[in-house]
Amino acid sequence: YLLMTLGPAFLFLSVAEARPGPWARRLIVFGRVPFFYYVMHLVVIHAFAILAVVLLGRPWTDMVLDTFVIREPHLQDYGFSLPVVYGVWVAVVVLLYPACRWFAQLKRERTDWWWLSYL
């Protein structure tokens, strides 16, 4: 299984790295600020989840969990199809691109802030 999935990925990366185009330059922005993107995507996805619950007519407090999500009886019928999940994923990436680009520029300009290198 690993060879079947990692092999084509490594082949794609070797070809994509040889000729960086406009898409590669856009993706490099995320690679320059991985921790920032990770933290911000959690915030944005949780905000989307709360918005989705409210739009479905439920209280936003349904998203505050006391136990594991599978054991929550009021969330048993909550969820979306895979195309919707992919749409949310694309929306989150597109929404976070300007923030990641701004933060990458901030890291590049503010070399006197030593702690930025850890983000």
With contact defined as beta carbons under 8 Å apart, do 111 and 64 qualify?
Answer: no
pLDDT band at 68 (very low <50, low <70, confident <90, very high): low
Q: Where in the chain are the domains?
A: 20-118
CB contact burial 104-115 (16+ within 10 A = b; e otherwise)? beebeeeeeeee
**Higher-pLDDT residue of 67, 37:** 37
pLDDT of residue 1: 66
Q: State the sign of the Cα–Cα–Cα–Cα dihedral 16, 18, 20, 26.
A: positive
pLDDT band at 66 (very low <50, low <70, confident <90, very high): low
pTM strictly above 0.85: no
Token pair 């299984």: residue = 1
Residue 85 has pLDDT above 80, yes or no: yes
